[in-house]
Amino acid sequence: MTSIGIIGAGKIGKAFAQHAAKAGYDTIISNSRGPESLQPVVEAIGHGIKAGTVTEAAAADIVFLAVPWNKLEEAVSGVPSWENHLVIDATNAVLPGFVPADLGGKPSSEVVASLLPGAKLVKAFNTLLAAVLTADPKEEGGSRVVFYSGNDEEAKKRVLDVINRIGFSGVDLGKLDEGGRLQQFPGGPLPALNLIKLK
């Protein structure tokens, strides 16, 4: 069974954890405060989800990264190696006070990738508002759209499998320097769009 490790237990991390656990993935959720602090979250989500350390979450087959931008470097620095890890980047480059981070003109996912040397990174799940991501992805005879982009085609296929299995419809935007910019918040045109793909 594919395992999914979630780093970050804010609204986006918890929303994704809920869908992943319900879909039958071996799911582990982590935060900076330790597994004990996540027991209420684990009990609320159910479906066999476990709380763990960031290192334990990072050892999963697929890692879902959903931490605040100003905590990002600290959150990932303790992981011994990111080589060949498949990482879903759901972060947005926004600082406290809703201030855009200075990325020096780079797509935010390229900045994230530089902190995860050797990882196969796919940008996804960053454009939906938390309340929308939490809701049932099946709506009005279709499935809610999740945009994704990345430079590794095999990694993108695996992420699309996750998107489909948990009930969403994936739309491939290409590579990070193209699709990543379209998905980027702030700056890109796609964040906060709530689209339904009809069957």
Residue 104 CA to residue 129 CA, distance in Å, equals: 26
Neighbouring-strand partners of residue 87: 63, 121
Residue 138 scores a pLDDT above 90: yes
Give the mean pLDDT of 76-102.
94
140 pLDDT higher than 90 = no
% of the chain with per-residue pLDDT over 90: 90
Q: What is the pLDDT of residue 1?
A: 79
Which DSSP symbol is given to 190?
A: -
Tell me which of 141 and 146 has the higher pLDDT: 146
pTM: 0.96
Is the model's pLDDT at 199 over the cut of 90? no
The answer to whether the beta carbons of residues 124 and 148 sit under 8 Å apart is yes
Q: What's the pLDDT tens digit per position in 175-184?
A: 999 999 999 9
pLDDT at 2: 93
Across the chain, what does the average pLDDT equal? Answer: 95
pLDDT band at 172 (very low <50, low <70, confident <90, very high): very high
**Is residue 58 helix, strand or coil?**
helix
CA 28 to chain centre: 13
Report cis status (omega within 30 of 0) of the bond before 186.
yes
Structure confidence at residue 139 as a pLDDT band (50, 70, 90): confident
Domain annotation for the chain: domains and CATH numbers: 3-198 (3.40.50.720)
